[in-house]
A = this chain, B = another copy of it.
Amino acid sequence: MDREDPATRAHILIEALPYIRQYWGQTFIIKYGGNAMVREDLKSQVMQDIALLHYVGIRPVVVHGGGPEISSLMKQLGMEPSFIGGLRVTDAATMEVVEMVLTGKTNKDIVSRLNRQSVRAIGISGKDDNCIQARKLDSPAGDLGFVGEIVQIKADILRLLVREGYIPVVSSVAIGADGESYNVNADHAAGAIAAELNASKLILLTDVEGVYRDFQDKRSLISEMDVTQAAELIEEGQAERGMIPKLEACMQALQGGVGRAHLIDGRLPHALLIEIFTDSGIGTMIRP
A96 within 8 A of B: yes
Assess whether B10 is in contact with A3, with CB atoms less than 8 Å apart. Answer: no
Digit string of A52-77 for contact with B (CB within 8 Å is 1, else 0)? 10011100000000000000000011
**A116 — which chain B residues lie within 8 A by C-beta?**
179
Assess whether B108 is in contact with A9, with CB atoms less than 8 Å apart. Answer: no
**A151 — which chain B residues lie within 8 A by C-beta?**
none
A242 within 8 A of B: no
> Could you tell me the dominant secondary structure of chain A's interface residues?
helix
Most B CB within 10 A of own CB, among A122, A157, A278: A122
In the assembly, what is the distance between CA of A269 and CA of B7, in Å? 7
In the assembly, what is the distance between CA of A77 and CA of B127, in Å? 26
A21 within 8 A of B: yes
What number of A residues sit within 8 Å (CB to CB) of B? 74
A134 to chain B, nearest CB (A): 13
Task: Report how many copies the assembly holds.
Answer: 6
Residues of chain A from 105 to 145 with CB closer than 8 A to chain B in the complex: 105, 107-108, 111-113, 115-118, 120-125, 127-130
Assess whether A128 is in contact with B111, with CB atoms less than 8 Å apart. Answer: yes
Flag the segment in A11-19, A31-39, A217-225 that touches B.
Answer: A11-19
Assess whether A20 is in contact with B52, with CB atoms less than 8 Å apart. Answer: yes
> Closest chain B residue to A123 by CB distance?
B128
In the assembly, what is the distance between CA of A99 and CA of B106, in Å? 11
Assess whether A278 is in contact with B9, with CB atoms less than 8 Å apart. Answer: yes
Using CB atoms and an 8 Å cutoff, list the residues of chain A in contact with chain B: 1-3, 6-17, 20-21, 24, 45, 48-49, 51-52, 55-57, 76-78, 96, 99-105, 107-108, 111-113, 115-118, 120-125, 127-130, 156-157, 160, 164, 166, 173, 175, 179, 181, 268-270, 273-274, 277-278, 280, 282
A-B contact pairs, 15 of them (CB 8 A): A1-B3, A7-B269, A9-B15, A13-B273, A20-B52, A77-B77, A102-B104, A103-B104, A108-B173, A108-B181, A111-B127, A122-B129, A123-B124, A157-B166, A160-B160
